[in-house]
Structure 1
């Protein structure tokens, strides 16, 4: 995989084929489309080179090394620069490197390389230290949200076969009750962790192959039991390196966010700091006023947030017009769809359209709007360097609209102990089936997400993509946000149904009015046949709608 880009740019002149190998594999790959658009649209560069002009050198090194080696190298280059600060607790690159070495030494005296180690705690410096130590030791980090119940943690521990854990608060208490197969449990919020840090230091990272697992992530479980996703050092490094290059990240950047560090979106900010020598400031919880104050205090250059956070920031910024947000060079949005309406509201408030990007648990960061533009609201942009992208039908054939499939060094190789799920997740040729539906605009090359394949509504034999209907409803001034799903119908098979949160300034908008509004913008079969009003949409920790938790209609709903 490490030589993917080199192969992609080489021309087989001896065979006279005139296209790189990966273009021959699929005529519908986005890179190939970009080459063919050179003359049609005047874009002049394939998709990767719209992010990074000199892409060949980047691609050759995307997947090299391990996280521990890369973090240690940065610490030697910028020892005294602050690496990560969570609330008021900060560590320089050298301090974090020393603590990570201590954790690694403690683990290596107890566990073999490859052992799974659960880390379950709220945002904090101890969590960052534990994570850096686990990957330095050659063990596999299993990050667990502190919101998980004991039942959920039990599944995680059992499925991962975890042998040790670092935890705090209620998670520590739950893990202590779970016990087996855990052999060791250290409290991140007690004296235990001090004892860990007092152990002898291990200066050199464990020599493990770059394709060995570093992180065992778990799918969100919004549509079923969470599955383990082993992500190698090469997967994680190639994902963040491609994004950092595309976003022109330097050691001078200061990132601020309030995302959970047990999720890859928030963890990506830590990776950014530890790979580039930059600084990441994390808040333990999201508060829009405190976040704006922190951006000002840090003179931040980059902000990470999800759409729900941007909505609250926009509401406050519209009233206070903080100059600090307008000084940001980059505001990144991900983890959930950003509506074009909200994107434009945020742009008015902070002076730039948020840079929306797309990725999955299994494949890291894959697609991004270009830093230099155009940033097209409603789209997630172009494939990042190293990522190949196609749109396929259920049989894996190229299609104008359908499932997004990916391959590249960022993409995992299969689910943890789930051979059947792994077989279902890939088309021949190593193309990962994301389960997300979308299409690529042939004029711009930008990808638009239309929904999830399992969320597709089939009404009267016709396919309806929920996200398309949601975006139309959210154009109405009386709608703050909307979710669309199918309900069983004797007549239609499934009935397109909308759950709507009204805006505060238009509480009287009716379901009939919204259906009529949709009919002016959508084909009749796509329009909701029923609208249900609720106070808030059910979402997970990263802001994604949990559709199976949408309330069932009552007898008086129309």
Structure 2
């Protein structure tokens, strides 16, 4: 297998910008030298943890470990004591890489600490020599151990092989026409697949550059896109803030209109926000679909139809099918029949660390990964996700209903700012549809009957909410995903 980052050993790219965080940056020559020095130190380290703050040091630490062939465990700096303790015990790293001067939690006190020394040499000297060919790890060797969110128990460590990183990034390059000329802007955290693998490793594999904003700000997005950046990665919460800001910010609209590609992921982007952004900028946001365990599975292609509410078509090398509850594959792709997504391909993780039981349960006997996501598929192959099997599939009156399409319909109502939909037991229907609403005007929330009629006229009568709760905000995680299990204990304004 070729190196993950061929540009680090390419003298023609030595003086080109690679990484920029705020006012700190590294060229490819500087990144190659800095990571080469650190990689030499890490060669015999075993697994290494990285305290994944949104800094230049985090990016350098991860790249250095990957160059050394050492598996990386990115640590969320916001992890609670119990979760962090579980991850450290489970993954057993030998040391932790961090930026100098950062105070680490007590749970990390027993690990050797290595402060990453990033020296911005501001030069374009020849890049460091490639690692010896004999030492290039095999495609199956672990690259990262990324922990899942732990919504159904303690977080599980998904072991992601080098093959999966390379094939996913190359498939996205094909789908997005991603080249060394692209400059990516993002402000995502660096402890998960979207922000780290796609947002940092993706540009470096292409030989392009990334500008990380540190924290999301619409003004900073406008500044970078106006200064030559070509791509923006974000999550729905970020794009919602962009949509809200656009009417009063013509410079933001102009900057977004210059972008070659606007990409949203990690959760579904409401159709309402899609349309508001497109109307103001002339640019369509495209969505892709992936998971920690699978990296990326599908995407709307840069040369395809940017159809709002869908996650596009399977990426090159990815097999995707929808199955019934009993595992029987759906044969009719009619845009209506709901099934669970199963995928197979070189983009998949190897195992859950120390969890052979969970690993075996996650796969079918013929090697398909059970994603737990429910979707419909159009005749032309486009996939539209309707929700998680555990929390978003509602079986009501003999129908399979996806929460996502009801949420999109609710968001089209002018009195709704945010919406979530769940199911709850019903003695007659099996489950009834429940809507959780953040009103646009808390003093005058839309009535339940009004919202029910609104949904019934846009979708089908059996999809209308039977109960409506009003909230001041929806519970979300770091990636902006709504935590639906927390809604059961949420304080409502009813």
> Which deviations, in whole Å up to 9, do the C-alpha atoms of 1:280-310 show, x marking residues without a partner?
10011111222212222x3211111111111
Offset at 1:514? Answer: 0.8
- Partner residue, 1:186: 114
Q: Matched residues in 2 for 1:521 and 1:421: separation?
A: 40
Offset at 1:179? Answer: 4.2
- Answer whether contact 2:57 2:98 (CA < 8 A) is retained: no
Residue of 379, 387, 412 corresponding to 1:451:
387
- Partner residue, 2:405: 468
- Partner residue, 2:373: 436
- Partner residue, 2:271: 340
TM-score normalised over the length of structure 1: 0.80
Q: Secondary structure at the match of 2:489?
A: coil
Distance 1:550 1:167, change over 3 A: farther
Q: Matched residues in 1 for 2:115 and 2:345: separation?
A: 38
Q: Is 1:526 aligned to 2:463, yes or no?
A: yes
> Which deviations, in whole Å up to 9, do the C-alpha atoms of 1:529-550 show, x marking residues without a partner?
2111112211111111111122
- Partner residue, 1:18: none
**Please, which runs of 5 or more residues in structure 1 have no aligned partner?**
1-63
- Answer whether contact 1:166 1:186 (CA < 8 A) is retained: yes
> Which deviations, in whole Å up to 9, do the C-alpha atoms of 1:310-346 show, x marking residues without a partner?
1111222221222221111111111110122211111
Residue of 44, 49, 66 corresponding to 1:135:
66
Q: Is 1:159 aligned to 2:90, yes or no?
A: yes
- Answer whether contact 1:212 1:232 (CA < 8 A) is retained: yes
Residue of 108, 114, 131 corresponding to 1:204:
131
Residue of 253, 261, 272 corresponding to 2:202:
272
- Partner residue, 1:287: 217
Offset at 1:519? Answer: 2.5
- Answer whether contact 1:66 1:210 (CA < 8 A) is retained: no
Q: Secondary structure at the match of 2:357?
A: helix
- Answer whether contact 1:403 1:437 (CA < 8 A) is retained: yes
Q: Secondary structure at the match of 2:86?
A: helix
Q: Secondary structure at the match of 1:520?
A: helix
Distance 1:372 1:506, change over 3 A: farther
Q: Secondary structure at the match of 1:512?
A: helix
- Structure 1 residues 490-505: aligned runs within 5 Å: 492-504=429-441
TM-score normalised over the length of structure 2: 0.90
Paired residues in the alignment total: 475
- Partner residue, 1:102: 37
- Answer whether contact 2:376 2:385 (CA < 8 A) is retained: yes
Q: Is 1:372 aligned to 2:303, yes or no?
A: yes
- Answer whether contact 1:66 1:209 (CA < 8 A) is retained: no
- Answer whether contact 2:161 2:350 (CA < 8 A) is retained: no
Offset at 1:555? Answer: 9.1
> Which deviations, in whole Å up to 9, do the C-alpha atoms of 1:438-472 show, x marking residues without a partner?
01111x32100010111123345543321122122
> Which deviations, in whole Å up to 9, do the C-alpha atoms of 1:473-507 show, x marking residues without a partner?
11212112211112344555543211111225994
- Answer whether contact 1:477 1:506 (CA < 8 A) is retained: no
**Please, which runs of 5 or more residues in structure 2 have no aligned partner?**
122-127, 331-336
Q: Matched residues in 2 for 1:462 and 1:172: separation?
A: 53
- Structure 1 residues 167-186: aligned runs within 5 Å: 167=98, 172-174=103-105, 176-180=106-110, 182=111, 184-186=112-114
Offset at 1:117? Answer: 1.1
- Structure 1 residues 24-423: aligned runs within 5 Å: 64-67=1-4, 70-73=6-9, 75-108=10-43, 111=45, 115-167=46-98, 172-174=103-105, 176-180=106-110, 182=111, 184-188=112-116, 193=117, 204=131, 206-267=135-196, 268-296=198-226, 298-322=227-251, 323-399=254-330, 400-423=337-360
- Partner residue, 1:542: 479
> Which deviations, in whole Å up to 9, do the C-alpha atoms of 1:124-168 show, x marking residues without a partner?
111111011111111111112211122211111111122111235
- Answer whether contact 2:475 2:484 (CA < 8 A) is retained: yes
Which of 522-531 and 543-552 deviates more?
522-531
- Partner residue, 1:60: none
- Partner residue, 2:125: none
Q: Matched residues in 2 for 1:171 and 1:121: separation?
A: 11
For the aligned residue pairs, the C-alpha RMSD in angstroms reads 2.4
Q: Matched residues in 1 for 2:338 and 2:429: separation?
A: 23
- Answer whether contact 2:53 2:77 (CA < 8 A) is retained: yes
Q: Secondary structure at the match of 1:80?
A: coil
Distance 1:363 1:516, change over 3 A: same
Distance 1:523 1:317, change over 3 A: closer
Q: Matched residues in 2 for 1:154 and 1:167: separation?
A: 17
Which of 548-557 and 422-431 deviates more?
548-557
Q: Matched residues in 1 for 2:160 and 2:474: separation?
A: 31
Q: Matched residues in 1 for 2:53 and 2:270: separation?
A: 29
- Answer whether contact 2:148 2:292 (CA < 8 A) is retained: yes
Which of 524-533 and 149-158 deviates more?
524-533
Greater relative CO (CA pairs within 8 A, separation 6+): 1
